[in-house]
Structure 1
Amino acid sequence: MTRRMILSKEEMEEVVMKRCWLARYWGLAVQYGIYPDISMSKHEYWSSLAPLPFEYVTSAGQRAKNGSDNSGSNGSEDVDKLVHDLTVTAGEGNVETMLSVDKGLQELAFLKVEDAVLFALAQHRRSNVSEPVDPGLLPDIKSSGDEKFTEAFDLRKEEEEDVLFKQAWLIYFWRRAKNHNVEEDIAEERLQMWIDRHGQQPTSHDAVDVEQGLHELRKLGIEQLLWELSRHKVNIAKDEEVNIAKGDLSDGEDLT
């Protein structure tokens, strides 16, 4: 019987972050009538694992902004407790846990739920009429930067929250990238850029920028690179433990 690979504290926090993403966007899907046949059950499942997605992610972004990503022994006790509280219901943190959230994120992307939410937010800015959004009929709202050439306008509260949520996400992952020397040539500059933007009142330009920032993060594969690096470090630590155990066993045999 093979031993299940246990996640590190940093990896478990990433699981919680991704659960928060899923809980938030399935919740918004419910709110805006996106995939009404499945969105409620998806939201109930992910929100049961991450009941306060906006608060958790923005808190993680604030910690990263202040210089901590909880990747080492300097993680504060309140952070440890929060991660524990949000993961205890799921049982032991293992690789299957990470695979589950990654599968959930792939489904979210395949169904274009995030795009549909963005479109719904834009619709509700123009009109208070609530109509279900069909993700299959969406325009390509992420690829165009035309909005950057127009005068910035204020966002509604829901749009502001979405920008703040995504800015916190970007700060969190670029902080980890910087701390782990991933994409060294740009990580520090990107981190500082998002930190600087985070303290400002979000406008329509910020809404465009965060989408481009998320696209860059995914295109560069930052999350995957961090996962591979973390797994490598965990495996090295395990090998060292095994070697120490073998050494102790050998010493015991010599004494006999």
Structure 2
Amino acid sequence: MQVDMLQEENESLLEKLRLAEERCEEAEARARQLEQQVASLGEGVSMEARLLSRKEAALQQREAALKVAAQNYGGKGDELAALRTEAESLRTMTRRMILNQEEMEEVVLKRCWLARYWSLCVRYGIHTDIAGAKQEYWSSLAPLSLEVVLEAGQKAKDEKLLYNDPDERETLPRDLNELLGDGNVESMLLVDKGLRELISLKVDGALALAMAQQRRPTALRATELSPEESEDVQFKQAWLTYFWRRAKNHGVEPDIAEERLEFWINQGGQPLTSHDAVHVERGLIELKKLGIETQLWKESRLSVDPENTKKMQKENEF
């Protein structure tokens, strides 16, 4: 009987490792698409965006002064029209370089993912040559990684949570709002590169193996998870709930989004087993294979810069 349970546990672990390895190709594709979009904006996005914002502000001040002068003294119509055209052009360029609030939320959660898994690497002695520095860097940007993601997943269970409605910002996780910042496209590219590195180093599989090896067989049934493993499953369940909520709200994969969201909302509330661990890994693979993150990015960019986004989409079709 004990042999059968151990065999089942080993098969579950192997399945989790196999699914984790499948993420590499999907992560590469996502990174290539994002890099292409960022490259189209040019180098030094964050600095250029700040400069454009300052220039736009200066133009607006001059426009206001000319408007007053035109009203009081007449004339300056052509110059005023030219300034308005230039200001609008700058405004469009700035929008392309700056993340909206929902995109910044995604950056925050991805920093949390990186902070959590590099911290676990330090705890379990994985990639010891780089884990310490990576953990220190990402944890400085996401000091409450577990709490933030769990709270985001909990909030995502609320059907009233509409990320595209500015009036609903009060419903967002408190810690998430406090961590918002770095609102340039480069920050999204940076976290995606970080996630790609994590996957290429097969950190998730190494951690799954380390956790399973440290579990005490005499204290737990083979199919039950240790507290560390259960915490990891809960973290990933919250992650999946968050992204499927966004997918449903934005009409991404409409034929399955509601069903997937309901599935992840209904998870939890009972002791977790190795089957739950396999479910979340399969869920993460599905998220990647369907390109949910990429689709959400395109939807978000479409609202920010419709003409440029449609142009890029047409170019990608060929």
Tell me the CA shift for residue 70 of structure 1: 3.5
Whose relative contact order is higher, 1 or 2, with alpha carbons under 8 Å and at least 6 apart?
2
- Identify the residue that residue 32 of structure 2 maps to in structure 1: none
Deviations 1:52-76 (A, max 9, x none): 1110001000000122254422434
Q: Does 1:38 align with 2:130?
A: yes
- Identify the residue that residue 10 of structure 2 maps to in structure 1: none
- Identify the residue that residue 280 of structure 2 maps to in structure 1: 210
Whether contact under 8 Å (1:30, 1:36) holds in the other structure is yes
Tell me the CA shift for residue 116 of structure 1: 0.9
Deviations 1:110-169 (A, max 9, x none): 1111111111111111579xxxxxxxxxxxxxxxxxxxxxx9722111011000000000
Q: Which amino acid aligns with 1:196?
A: N
- Identify the residue that residue 196 of structure 1 maps to in structure 2: 266
Correspondence list, 1:148-159, <5 A: 153-159=223-229
Deviations 1:17-72 (A, max 9, x none): 10000000000000000000100100000000000111000100000012225442
**Gapped runs of 5+ residues in structure 2?**
1-47, 53-93, 310-318
Tell me the CA shift for residue 84 of structure 1: 4.3
Tell me the CA shift for residue 206 of structure 1: 0.4
Q: Higher mean Cα deviation, 196-205 or 208-217? A: 196-205
* Identity among equivalent pairs (%): 58
- Identify the residue that residue 214 of structure 2 maps to in structure 1: 124
Q: Which amino acid aligns with 2:274?
A: S
Tell me the CA shift for residue 188 of structure 1: 0.6
- Identify the residue that residue 177 of structure 1 maps to in structure 2: 247
Residues 228 and 197 of structure 1, relative CA distance in 2, 3 Å threshold: same
Tell me the CA shift for residue 77 of structure 1: 3.1
Q: Distance in 2 between matches of 1:201 and 1:74?
A: 37
Q: Higher mean Cα deviation, 225-234 or 67-76? A: 67-76
Tell me the CA shift for residue 85 of structure 1: 2.6
- Identify the residue that residue 100 of structure 1 maps to in structure 2: 190
- Identify the residue that residue 13 of structure 1 maps to in structure 2: 105
Greater percentage in helix: 2
- Identify the residue that residue 23 of structure 2 maps to in structure 1: none
Q: Distance in 2 between matches of 1:80 and 1:208?
A: 28
Whether contact under 8 Å (2:102, 2:164) holds in the other structure is yes
- Identify the residue that residue 242 of structure 1 maps to in structure 2: none
Residues 27 and 203 of structure 1, relative CA distance in 2, 3 Å threshold: same
Q: Distance in 1 between matches of 2:226 and 2:112?
A: 22
RMSD of Structure 2 on Structure 1 (CA): 2.4
Task: Choose the corresponding residue for 2:153, options 61, 64, 72.
Answer: 61
Residues 73 and 199 of structure 1, relative CA distance in 2, 3 Å threshold: farther
Task: Choose the corresponding residue for 1:52, options 144, 166, 171.
Answer: 144
Q: Distance in 2 between matches of 1:107 and 1:123?
A: 24
- Identify the residue that residue 163 of structure 1 maps to in structure 2: 233
Q: Normalized against structure 1, the TM-score is what?
A: 0.77
Deviations 1:80-103 (A, max 9, x none): 753343244xxx410001000001
Task: Choose the corresponding residue for 2:202, options 109, 112, 115.
Answer: 112
* Residue-pair matches, total: 214
- Identify the residue that residue 142 of structure 1 maps to in structure 2: none
Whether contact under 8 Å (2:248, 2:257) holds in the other structure is yes
Residues 192 and 81 of structure 1, relative CA distance in 2, 3 Å threshold: closer
**Gapped runs of 5+ residues in structure 1?**
129-150, 240-256
The SS at the match of 1:75 is helix
Q: Higher mean Cα deviation, 152-161 or 31-40? A: 152-161
Q: Which amino acid aligns with 1:125?
A: R
Larger Rg: 2
Q: Normalized against structure 2, the TM-score is what?
A: 0.63
Q: Which amino acid aligns with 1:40?
A: G
Tell me the CA shift for residue 196 of structure 1: 0.9
- Identify the residue that residue 252 of structure 1 maps to in structure 2: none
Q: Distance in 1 between matches of 2:201 and 2:134?
A: 13
